[in-house]
A and B are shown apart, each in its own frame.
Chain A
Amino acid sequence: MRDGFQVKLDFDSTRPIYMQIIDEVKRAVARNLLMPGGKLPSQRELAEAARVNPNTVQRAYREMEAMGLVETKRGEGTYIREDDGLLASLRGEMAQTAVDNFIRQVLALGLKEAEIVKLVTSRYKELQNGKRGEQDDAH
């Protein structure tokens, strides 16, 4: 499918399929795989590629339109809305979800706030150093 945008669905999840489709579009926008103003695949293309019922895709597109993520131009197709705030808010939303998950996991391991912050800081440094190391190796 165009622009490297692909939909991966998890049928073992309790999350409804149409919501998973919306999640995938949001993720693609946040990662610049779909640009603001960019065209989404047609509902039928997406249904065929993801092998889901066209009704399910239709519902996902309808909801995305209602939440202001996309707009449909009659006879042309569906486009990601050109909205400066959209990208920032999507990235913020996804970052928050990722951090929330992380906090829940380490809390379950019995860590305290100070320990978590310390751990994040030290791991961040380590990972950045590791990345730099990889780049050096490449040269």
Chain B
Amino acid sequence: MATAAQTPVDFSAAFNMAPTPLADWLIVMPVAWCLLAGAVLLMLRKRTALHPGIAIFALIGLCLFDAALLVRVLAEGPLTMVMGRWLPPFGIAFTVDLMGALFALTAALVALAAGVFGRADVDTTGRRYGFYPFLMLLMAGVSGAFLTGDVFNLYVWFEVLLIASFGLLVLGSERAQIDGATKYAFLNLVGTTLFLIATGYLYGLFGSLNMADIIVKAPQLRDTAPLMTLTTLYLLAFAMKAAAFPVNFWLPASYHTPKLAVSALFGGLLTKVGIYALIRVLVMLFPVERDHLAWVIAVIAALTMVLGVVGALAQNDTRRAVGYLVISGIGVMMAGIALGSPGGLSGTIFYALHSMVVMTALYFAAGIGGTLAGSFLLSRSGGLYAGHAVLAFTTLALFFSVAGLPPFSGLWPKVLLVKAALDVGAWWLAASILVTGFLTTIATGRIWLLAYWRPAPVGAEPGTNPRAPTAVEGRHEPPVAAPGDAAPPFAAMAVLLALTSLSVVFGLWPEPLLAAAQEAAAALLDPSAYVLSVFPGEVPQ
């Protein structure tokens, strides 16, 4: 202490000396808030009656923080906060651009929906195993991944969400769940390890992990450093996370085993984190290398979308079919990454946001329908339309939305993507998107026909299917509603309707989201604003 007084230290060489305005705290609040709520819930782990209230309050708070953040980013461009006051690139930077803010807000909305749905779906045992604490910690990981501006930090948030997702997968520790979780855990660990190896390599090449710093340094290193190898490693690691063909088989093997609220959350969020990372690293950090890989990504995209939907056609279990639809959507999103044009990328971003909402809602719908019919198997269910017209029409709307039919939100991103593909003459990619849409219509139509439209078996009241056993098949926990209930639970239906109406609203009035997606895509292709927000005064290239 005495020496410090004698020789004054110039803190401004290492520290950001400007005071941080309170509004900048919005950048880290989504993460810090989720961690706080998760910790509080974990401390109250025995008081399960308090869990839903605290968690839903926290999730509403998260939505508000993310919404405020989005408003600020829309008004002011990318925002940066560097942890611990250190100057970048040495401090860990959180940099929020428009894409990150859009993804974070949609993820928060989906998590809120899952939290409300979980009130009915997750029983006391599930709560004692920690559904709500894990949900909050998962959201800390997801929000962190969307908001961070540091590659290694992105890896850390991947780990956080992965560990929370392991916990969510095995709520209740049943045999089928452990089986699904083992496959999920193994493949995700392989993907994460690849990600870590690639990141170590990246650090070795660049001596920096800050994304803005990498954008600045990449042009000088491009001639000498093996950036192509690095980009390919990242492509493989993130494709595994996103469940792209041929590394997609872990998803249908595991996503139908946990509670429905968990399946819905995973189907909505986790694969999109992989897509987000792909966009961030391939498009923003290594655009030149992505150009070289464009063919590979395009072929992967086409195969993923077509094979995904073919898988959905073949399923008897509605939850597994929805799992395959999630994969098919990943293919559509990867098509935009392969194209790499402003139109293609804005299509991908729009589709990812649409997919988060719609896939979550589809799992909810499949769950409510399955419990009402007494079975998730198409061969055993039927007659839902007669008893539950609202549910039937909502599900039909979601099916149209996922197939990309108007007037729902799935239409516009597909229009953007097909147009972008035709613009560069990739007619086969455009054709595969259209064929996928057509096959999706057939696949979802088949589910709707068999589970909803087809009359219930003779001599049965709707909802009390005599072919179905009293316990719901393929589920071992108490269902959302007991089979034979006259109406689905109110909260579950309300959540389903809210998510579906989001899809309808953005289908009928897509302009604001389209404009935001286009702006976000333009910012990714020309990241000078992103770099400027981290290094004020620096001019990239």
Do chains A and B interact in one complex? no
* Residues of chain A having any CB pair with chain B under 8 Å: none
Which B residues have a C-beta under 8 Å from some C-beta of A?
none
